């Protein structure tokens, strides 16, 4: 079952540049009976391999900007460690709801991209571009470590909307950047005991095959269709996060009356 989960996650990850974490985590929790924290940590380990396979596939089509990937990873590697530690502090349901709302916002941006002012690749100075990429990596790394995902949901829109990257190049570059960032987050999760090694024997080979297939298909599709697929995947994931039930209050009636 973990092999099938890896193939499915790899196809979607390679297709839309997400790394597969948003698909892997629900599958591990719902079908492989992993705990939520275990799913996040294990997902990050698998994402390292997904990023490698996906970036290689996009590179074969000339769709990777190495300079952008290096800048994104430079700060993401640092903040991913803090994100992984923070995952065990904040209540899980609050993180899911907040991230779900953010995913819906990102999907809306991708859908209205054709109607937004077009930012050409030279719209910003070289140093402004560097600052945008470093800032994006900072936020993405923290989110990646916290939620157990690759970070393409942040990297890709930033590169497409702000820096004028094509969808394919943005996705290929994000897949490459998530390799060192995912490794940093995965290492922290491993130290916290949040990696279920038994699942990796199926997830890793499955995600390698799936990512190659997804990445190959992505480079055959028109950019608008690819953007719609990207939006559809993260809308589905965002709705799942937003529907996370709020746990009942643990306060006793006496405590509530005293507070009143």
- Round to whole Å and give the CA distance between 25 and 43: 7
Region 18-43: mean pLDDT is 82
Segment (H or E) for 225: helix 223-242
Q: Under 8 Å CB-to-CB from 38, ≥6 apart: which residues?
A: 28, 194, 195, 196
Asked whether the predicted pLDDT for residue 4 surpasses 70, the reply is: yes
pLDDT for 152: 80
Asked whether the predicted pLDDT for residue 177 surpasses 80, the reply is: yes
* Residue closest to 20 by CA, chosen among 165, 178, 138: 178
pTM: 0.79
- Round to whole Å and give the CA distance between 216 and 131: 31
Asked whether the predicted pLDDT for residue 253 surpasses 80, the reply is: no
Cα within 13 Å of Cα(248), Cβ side: 4
- Round to whole Å and give the CA distance between 195 and 187: 9
pLDDT for 95: 67
Asked whether the predicted pLDDT for residue 231 surpasses 60, the reply is: yes
Region 33-59: mean pLDDT is 86
pLDDT for 83: 93
Backbone torsions φ then ψ of 151, nearest 5 degrees: 105, 5
Asked whether the predicted pLDDT for residue 254 surpasses 50, the reply is: no
Asked whether the predicted pLDDT for residue 251 surpasses 50, the reply is: no
218 within 8 A of 15, measured Cβ to Cβ: yes
| Res. 156 pLDDT band, cuts 50 70 90 | confident
Asked whether the predicted pLDDT for residue 75 surpasses 90, the reply is: yes
């Amino acid at each position: 079952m973990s092999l099938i989960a890896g193939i499915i996650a790899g196809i979607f990850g390679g297709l839309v540049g997400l790394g597969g974490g948003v698909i892997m985590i629900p599958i591990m929790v719902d079908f492989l009976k992993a705990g939520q924290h275990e799913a996040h940590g294990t997902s990050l380990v698998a994402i390292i391999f997904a990023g490698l396979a996906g970036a290689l596939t996009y590179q074969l089509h000339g769709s990777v900007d190495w300079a952008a990937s290096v800048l994104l990873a430079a700060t993401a590697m640092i903040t991913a460690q803090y994100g992984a530690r923070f995952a065990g502090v904040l209540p899980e349901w609050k993180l899911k709801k907040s991230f779900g709302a953010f995913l819906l916002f990102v999907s809306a941006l991708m859908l209205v991209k054709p109607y937004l002012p077009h930012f050409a690749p030279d719209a910003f100075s070289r140093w402004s571009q560097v600052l945008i990429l470093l800032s994006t990596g900072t936020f993405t790394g923290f989110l990646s470590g916290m939620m157990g995902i690759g970070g393409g949901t942040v990297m890709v829109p930033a590169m497409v909307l702000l820096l004028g990257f094509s969808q394919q190049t943005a996705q290929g570059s994000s897949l490459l950047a998530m390799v060192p960032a995912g490794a940093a987050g995965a290492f922290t999760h491993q130290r916290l005991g949040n990696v279920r090694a038994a699942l990796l024997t199926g997830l890793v080979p499955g995600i390698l095959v799936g990512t190659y297939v997804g990445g190959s298909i992505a480079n055959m599709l028109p950019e608008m269709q690819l953007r719609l697929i990207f939006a559809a995947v993260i809308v589905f994931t965002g709705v799942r996060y937003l529907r996370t039930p709020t746990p009942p209050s643990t306060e006793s009636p006496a405590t509530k009356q005293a507070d009143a």
